Amino acid sequence: MINKKVHNAKEAIKGVTNNMTFMLGGFGLCGIPENIILELVNSKVRGLTCISNNAGIDDFGLGLLLKNNQIKKMISSYVGENAEFERQMLSGELEVELIPQGSLAERCRAGGVGIPAFFTPAGYGTEIAKNKEVRVFNGKPHILEHALKADFAFVKAWKGDVSGNLIFKGTARNFNPLMAMAGKITVAEVEELVPSGELDPNEIHTPGIFVQRIFEGEKYEKRIEQRTITKK
């Protein structure tokens, strides 16, 4: 059995260089690769194209890379709670491609399974459809969307084994499993790393064949964008 374990985030991002394209899993601040993002900040790599559902918040997640002007282009679904993302987008400092959430997920999945492009009705009649091929299926217009792939896919899972098999928990299953399939090199950080054979095969979401490097992360903050509480 191949052991894909690396010791830490610094070792996990070996080979990262300027002007690469990254996929970063997670949904909002849930299930984001916190350790890897911090190491990317420390590496000072620049000119990045980042594909992610959103860009974190000003002082956490991808917001840290934006703050350092390390990201050249964002491909995402929404601005979220990130004022710096909004500022850079409106000023023209940051190139932004906003994609409907379902289309973004499907474009990542397509990249992972080898489908070069597909037609979808999402976005027709909006700015999203500009300069894209349109065809009519069953009387309804569809636009052509191309698959997304990345030099590195960085994902975060709840549990994993040293062979790269991954189990995601709750909302972290949004985007992480799809992106894990679409990277030339996929790096997974996990909360708990176990020996091969300890995970129930029926519970595995991403088979280890898609993962090249894996390590056990530390000091997860797991922040919440908007906390709503009810007084008793």
How do residues 105-115 score in pLDDT, each as one tens digit?
Answer: 999 999 999 99
230 within domain boundaries:
no
Residue 154 β-bridge partners: 24, 187
The total number of structural domains in the chain stands at 1
156 within domain boundaries:
yes
CB 186 within 8 A of CB 180: yes
Q: What is the rounded distance in angstroms from the CA atom of residue 114 to the CA atom of residue 72?
A: 26
Determine the average pLDDT of the residues in 55-75.
88
Looking at the chain, list the stretches that DSSP marks H as alpha helix, in order from N- to C-terminal side.
Answer: 9-12, 34-43, 62-67, 83-91, 101-113, 176-180
226 within domain boundaries:
no
Burial class (CB in 10 A: 0-12, 13-18, 19+), 203: exposed
171 within domain boundaries:
yes
225 within domain boundaries:
no
pLDDT value of position 227? 65
Q: Look at the chain and count its residues.
A: 232
Determine the average pLDDT of the residues in 120-148.
95
DSSP summary character for residue 1? -
pLDDT value of position 61? 83
Q: Which residue has the tokens 């052509």?
A: 144
Does the pLDDT value for residue 211 go beyond 70?
Answer: yes
Residue scoring higher pLDDT (16 or 229): 16
Does the pLDDT value for residue 204 go beyond 80?
Answer: yes
47 within domain boundaries:
yes
227 within domain boundaries:
no
Determine the average pLDDT of the residues in 77-102.
87
pLDDT value of position 57? 79
Residue 142 β-bridge partners: 135
Q: Which domain holds residue 92?
A: 9-216
| DSSP states of 10-47 | HHHTTT--TT-EEEE--BTTBT--HHHHHHHHHHT--S
Q: How confident is the model at residue 226 (pLDDT cuts 50, 70, 90)?
A: low
Does the pLDDT value for residue 220 go beyond 80?
Answer: no
Summary mean pLDDT of the chain: 92
Q: Report the share of the chain in percent with pLDDT over 70.
A: 96
Least confident of 62-71, 116-125, 208-217: 62-71
Q: How confident is the model at residue 225 (pLDDT cuts 50, 70, 90)?
A: low
Does the pLDDT value for residue 222 go beyond 80?
Answer: no
pLDDT value of position 89? 86
pLDDT value of position 80? 72
How many C-beta atoms lie closer than 10 Å to residue 19's C-beta? 11
Q: Can you give the CATH number for the domain in which 163 is found?
A: 3.40.1080.10
pLDDT value of position 224? 66
Q: How confident is the model at residue 214 (pLDDT cuts 50, 70, 90)?
A: very high
Q: What is the rounded distance in angstroms from the CA atom of residue 10 to the CA atom of residue 146?
A: 32
How do residues 137-191 score in pLDDT, each as one tens digit?
Answer: 999 999 999 999 999 999 999 999 999 999 999 888 889 999 999 999 999 999 9
Least confident of 70-79, 101-110, 220-229: 220-229
